């Protein structure tokens, strides 16, 4: 059951921002980071997701990202992703910001997704920044350490690692949208990683109504105006239907 208050707030809003995290892709079969059996249950972030770890052992890090990339390519968008794609059409301004690198939002039909943590399908040179051609997939798949065609340095996944800044353009766009938003939904994120976790708080300070959708209260739950407990793949389609019905009722 979706809260009447949220339906009313979203019905009245023209500017909405949704922040997603790994939880929205859990129902597509992709592991989250901090749930039991999540990535950080099996590995330490400092062994895999930072530049020092990569330079020390590029084969290990490239291998881990390769396994994740394969999982992402065989995963399909789920009803939660699709509901967000459809929700976009109901508002004058709808901003979808994700911490996910899996591109499942785009594959479910969402365009103009702001990717705060990069994209696991692309690579670039760690030194000169040159985008790597698709051929590096095959090199990494065969266990080789891929290197830049131009300068010969290591090729890395185009994701944000611990200790690195987020892409400026993406962060600025997300920040500005947060200050304009009337409603923010934070979906499937633990709310532990900043600056992404700041976005609902920035929006709240600017007057937005903020709500979260999660199977358990996140670290941001006490700041939320509303906490909806349940799977994103159940709650988001129900919210979409409720909003569409409300808009239809208004027109008749
Ligand atoms: P986490 O693994 O920290 O959190 C996933 C959240 O999703 C948890 O709060 C779960 O309760 C929730 N969840 C799980 N299944 C769900 C479902 N079906 N429906 C709704 N919620 C569900 O993942 P993130 O918050 O995305 O950064 O993690 C943030 C960042 O930390 C990641 O982008 C990654 C990681 O280190 C980098 O790699 C830079």
Alpha helices in 75-197 (DSSP H): 79-87, 104-107, 135-141, 168-180
Q: Which atom of ligand 1 is nearest to the CA of 39?
A: 2
Q: Is 146:132 a contact under the CB 8 Å cutoff?
A: yes
Q: Choose which residue among 38, 54, 99, 186 to substitute to test ligand 1 binding: the one with the highest number of ligand atoms within 8 A of its C-beta.
A: 99
**Same domain membership, residue 50 and residue 108:** no
**Same domain membership, residue 201 and residue 171:** yes
Instruction: With cut-offs at 50, 70 and 90, classify the pLDDT of residue 133.
Output: confident
Q: How far is the CA of 147 from the centre of ligand 1 (A)?
A: 31
Number of domains in the chain: 2
Helices 168-180, 198-205: inter-axial angle, 10-degree rounding: 40
**Same domain membership, residue 192 and residue 129:** no
**Same domain membership, residue 155 and residue 109:** no
d(CA 235, CA 222): 20
**Same domain membership, residue 104 and residue 177:** yes
> Would you please indicate which residues are annotated as catalytic (active-site) residues?
117
**Same domain membership, residue 132 and residue 103:** no
Nearest CA to ligand 1 atom 23: 22
**Same domain membership, residue 49 and residue 10:** no
- Could you report the per-residue pLDDT of 143-199, keeping only the tens digit for each? 899 999 999 999 999 999 999 999 999 999 999 999 999 999 999 999 999 999 999
**Same domain membership, residue 240 and residue 195:** yes
- Which tokens is 212 given? 């979260």
CATH number of the domain that residue 144 is part of? 3.30.1600.10
**Same domain membership, residue 141 and residue 223:** no
Ligand 1, pocket residues at CB < 6 Å: 21-23, 26-27, 32-35, 38, 49, 99, 117, 160, 188-190, 192-193, 213-216, 218, 231-232
Domain that holds residue 130: 31-74+118-159
What's the pLDDT at 186?
Answer: 98
- Which tokens is 96 given? 């979808």
Concatenating the DSSP letter of every residue in 9-71 gives: HHHH-SEEEEEE-THHHHTTT---SSSTTSHHHHS-HHHHSSHHHHHH-HHHHHHHHHHHHHH
- Could you report the per-residue pLDDT of 188-245, keeping only the tens digit for each? 999 999 999 999 999 999 999 999 999 999 999 999 999 999 999 999 999 999 999 9
CA atoms within 13 A on the CB side of 87: 31
Nearest CA to ligand 1 atom 36: 33
d(CA 84, CA 79): 9
- Could you report the per-residue pLDDT of 68-105, keeping only the tens digit for each? 999 999 999 999 999 999 999 999 999 999 999 999 99
- Which tokens is 60 given? 């290990």
State residue 187 phi and psi, 5-degree precision. Answer: -120, 125
Q: Is 18:95 a contact under the CB 8 Å cutoff?
A: yes
Helix or strand (DSSP H, E) at 199: helix 198-205
Concatenating the DSSP letter of every residue in 207-250 gives: T-EEEEEESS--TTGGG-SEEEES-HHHHHHHHHHHHHHHHHHH
The residue among 98, 129, 159 that closes a domain is: 159
DSSP 193: S
**Same domain membership, residue 230 and residue 136:** no
**Same domain membership, residue 155 and residue 66:** yes
CATH number of the domain that residue 81 is part of? 3.40.50.1220
Q: How far is the CA of 99 from the centre of ligand 1 (A)?
A: 9
- Which tokens is 128 given? 């000169």
Q: Which atom of ligand 1 is nearest to the CA of 191?
A: 25
**Same domain membership, residue 123 and residue 188:** no
């Amino acid at each position: 059951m979706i809260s009447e208050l949220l339906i009313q707030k979203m019905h009245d809003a023209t500017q909405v921002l949704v922040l997603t995290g790994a939880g929205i892709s859990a129902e597509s079969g992709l592991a989250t980071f901090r749930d039991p059996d999540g990535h950080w249950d099996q590995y330490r972030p400092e062994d895999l997701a930072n530049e020092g770890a990569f330079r020390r052992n590029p084969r290990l890090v490239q291998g881990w990202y390769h396994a994740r990339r394969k999982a992402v390519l065989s995963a399909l968008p789920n009803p939660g992703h699709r509901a967000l794609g459809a929700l976009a059409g109901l508002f004058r301004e709808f901003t979808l910001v994700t911490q996910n690198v899996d591109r499942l939002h785009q594959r479910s039909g969402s365009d103009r997704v702001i990717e705060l943590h990069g994209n696991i399908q692309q690579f670039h040179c760690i030194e000169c920044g040159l985008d790597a051609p698709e051929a590096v997939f095959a090199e990494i798949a065969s266990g080789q350490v891929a290197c830049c065609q131009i300068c010969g340095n290591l090729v890395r996944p185009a994701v944000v690692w611990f200790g690195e800044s987020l892409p400026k353009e993406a962060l600025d766009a997300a920040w500005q949208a947060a200050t304009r938003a009337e409603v923010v939904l934070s979906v499937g994120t633990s709310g532990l990683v900043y600056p992404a976790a700041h976005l609902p708080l920035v929006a709240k300070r600017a007057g937005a109504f903020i709500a979260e959708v999660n199977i358990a209260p996140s670290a941001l739950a006490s700041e939320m105006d509303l906490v909806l407990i349940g799977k994103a793949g159940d709650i988001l389609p129900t919210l979409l239907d409720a909003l569409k019905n409300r808009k239809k009722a208004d027109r008749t």
